[in-house]
């Protein structure tokens, strides 16, 4: 056996023996760092570099540990991530994702399908219980609210609420940031519209959201393509319904060309939690664990806030006075966030099932 391979196996075995069972380690411990460096690579998926500050976080991780990061399909949706694990179960190369970052309802789905392995980070206790699996298969990382991202060079009358999007002012203007049959961001966009339309539970809210988009499509206002910064700037989708942190990042990146307004609607303010998990088939399991330790450290959490996302340890970090005021001041007014509704996991699972299966009633296939 080659000496390097023997060294790698020895380190991995030692770490596995030390951690055992549902593995947990001291944050970025020497043992874990050594094992991760021996693997030498980490493969992530669906992490657009403009999403939630991930570009800076990935670069910081590489610089800190000297580990290569393979970035797969940055525009993938949560469903695509699970399919990527399934399709690469026996693939030990860079096309097999080590970690996933998916909408809350996709965490339990991935666990039930046997696609994740348990791991509890050192800061496990500071993650709210309602946003994590008790056994450590998935855990909340950050959250935001659905907002309207508006190209104000083309849209002179900025919509203030969901009902405005049905008006004739917005012909061929409004897009979702994904396909509601697979992308969590888009599913939650439909759900938020349903909340604004008076939905009371998962079933009625989902139905109201689907009717809203069907009405918008009939009115000629809905654009059936995935809205992005490029399509917003080009005028193909001058209004995009997306997470506030993505919209704010676009506003910065576009630098006034075009001018961008980010609006938290008056009603139907829906917050969405995303969750992390490690693939049960991860080719680089120790690098994956080190990545998790990095993300849930103060450094990683502040990195998400720098990307306009509310880190899951937000309350803990505020109590410890760890968050820079300059970052907090760059977020939209706190009043909008005060109205936010956090759907339960049960509601999210139920609404995801309804919306993904019944999107056809809208009469529009969303193209990537």
SS3 336: helix
Please check whether residue 254 is in contact with residue 229, taking contact to mean a CB–CB distance below 8 angstroms: yes
pLDDT digits (tens, 9 = 90+) for 168-204: 999 999 999 999 999 999 999 999 999 999 999 999 9
* Per-residue pLDDT at 27: 57
pLDDT bracket for residue 337 (50, 70, 90): confident
pLDDT digits (tens, 9 = 90+) for 157-169: 999 999 999 999 9
Rg, Å, the chain Cα set:
21
* Per-residue pLDDT at 28: 67
pLDDT digits (tens, 9 = 90+) for 208-258: 999 999 999 999 999 999 999 999 999 999 999 999 999 999 999 999 999
**341 closest CA partner among 141, 194, 212:** 194
Return d(Cα 208, Cα 190) in angstroms, integer. 9
* Per-residue pLDDT at 14: 34
Please, where are the H alpha helices in 43-143? 54-65, 78-87, 106-112
How many residues does this entry show for the chain? 368
Least confident range from 32-41, 111-120, 309-318: namely 309-318
Residue 302's region, left for phi above 0, alpha for psi from -120 to 50, else beta, is alpha
Which tokens go with 160? 């203030």
Question: Is the pLDDT confidence value at 309 over 60?
Answer: yes
Strands (E), the chain: 23-24, 41-45, 68-72, 99-103, 116-117, 119-120, 139-151, 174-176, 239-243, 260-263, 271-279, 310-311
DSSP H/E element including 265: none
Judging by DSSP bridges, how do beta strands 116-117 and 239-243 pair with one another?
Answer: unpaired
**138 closest CA partner among 287, 312, 307:** 312
Please check whether residue 109 is in contact with residue 137, taking contact to mean a CB–CB distance below 8 angstroms: no
Q: What does the pLDDT average to over 116-122?
A: 97
pLDDT digits (tens, 9 = 90+) for 1-44: 333 333 333 333 333 333 334 544 445 689 999 999 999 999 99
Q: What are phi and psi of 234, to 5 degrees?
A: -75, -15
Return d(Cα 103, Cα 95) in angstroms, integer. 21
Domains of the chain, earliest start first: 3-12+21-143+272-326 (3.40.190.10), 147-271+332-362 (3.40.190.10)
How many C-beta atoms lie closer than 10 Å to residue 34's C-beta? 16
How many C-beta atoms lie closer than 10 Å to residue 120's C-beta? 23
SS3 244: helix
Burial class (CB in 10 A: 0-12, 13-18, 19+), 121: buried
Please check whether residue 260 is in contact with residue 154, taking contact to mean a CB–CB distance below 8 angstroms: no
* Per-residue pLDDT at 329: 87
Judging by DSSP bridges, how do beta strands 23-24 and 119-120 pair with one another?
Answer: parallel
The residues, ordered by sequence, that sit 6+ positions from 291 with a Cβ below 8 Å of its Cβ are: 42, 44, 61, 98, 99
Return d(Cα 174, Cα 147) in angstroms, integer. 12
Burial class (CB in 10 A: 0-12, 13-18, 19+), 342: middle
Return d(Cα 91, Cα 144) in angstroms, integer. 34
DSSP H/E element including 223: none
């Amino acid at each position: 056996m080659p000496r390097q391979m023997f060294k790698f196996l020895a380190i991995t075995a030692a770490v596995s023996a030390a951690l055992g069972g549902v593995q947990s380690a001291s944050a970025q411990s020497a043992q874990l760092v050594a094992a991760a460096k021996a693997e030498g690579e980490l493969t992530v998926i669906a992490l657009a570099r403009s999403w939630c500050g991930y570009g800076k976080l990935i670069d910081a991780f590489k610089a800190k540990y000297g580990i290569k990061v393979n970035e797969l399909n940055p525009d993938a949706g949560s469903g695509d991530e699970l399919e990527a694990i399934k399709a690469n179960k026996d693939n030990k190369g860079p096309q097999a994702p080590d970690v996933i970052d998916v909408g809350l309802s996709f965490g339990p789905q991935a666990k039930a399908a046997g696609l994740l392995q348990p791991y509890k980070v050192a800061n496990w206790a500071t993650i709210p219980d309602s946003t994590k699996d008790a056994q450590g298969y998935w855990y909340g990382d950050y959250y935001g609210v659905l907002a309207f991202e508006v190209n104000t060079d083309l849209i002179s009358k900025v919509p203030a609420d969901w009902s405005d999007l049905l008006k004739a002012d917005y012909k061929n203007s409004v897009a979702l940031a994904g396909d509601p049959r697979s992308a969590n961001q888009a599913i939650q966009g439909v759900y938020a519209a349903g909340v604004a339309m008076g939905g009371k539970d998962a079933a009625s809210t989902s139905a109201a959201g689907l009717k809203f988009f069907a009405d918008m499509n009939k009115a000629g206002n809905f654009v059936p393509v995935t809205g992005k910064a490029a399509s917003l700037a080009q005028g193909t989708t001058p209004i995009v319904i997306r997470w506030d942190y993505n919209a704010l990042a676009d506003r910065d990146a576009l630098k006034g060309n075009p001018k961008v307004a980010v609006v938290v609607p008056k009603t139907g303010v829906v917050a969405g939690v995303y969750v992390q998990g490690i693939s049960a088939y991860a080719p680089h399991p120790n690098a994956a664990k080190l990545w998790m330790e990095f993300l849930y450290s103060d450094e990683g959490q502040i990195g998400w806030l720098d990307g306009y996302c509310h880190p899951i340890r937000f309350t803990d970090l505020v109590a410890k006075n760890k968050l820079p005021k300059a970052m907090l001041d760059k977020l939209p007014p706190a009043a909008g966030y005060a109205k936010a509704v956090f759907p339960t996991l049960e509601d999210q699972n139920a609404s995801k099932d309804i919306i993904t299966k019944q999107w056809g009633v809208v009469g529009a296939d969303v193209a990537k």
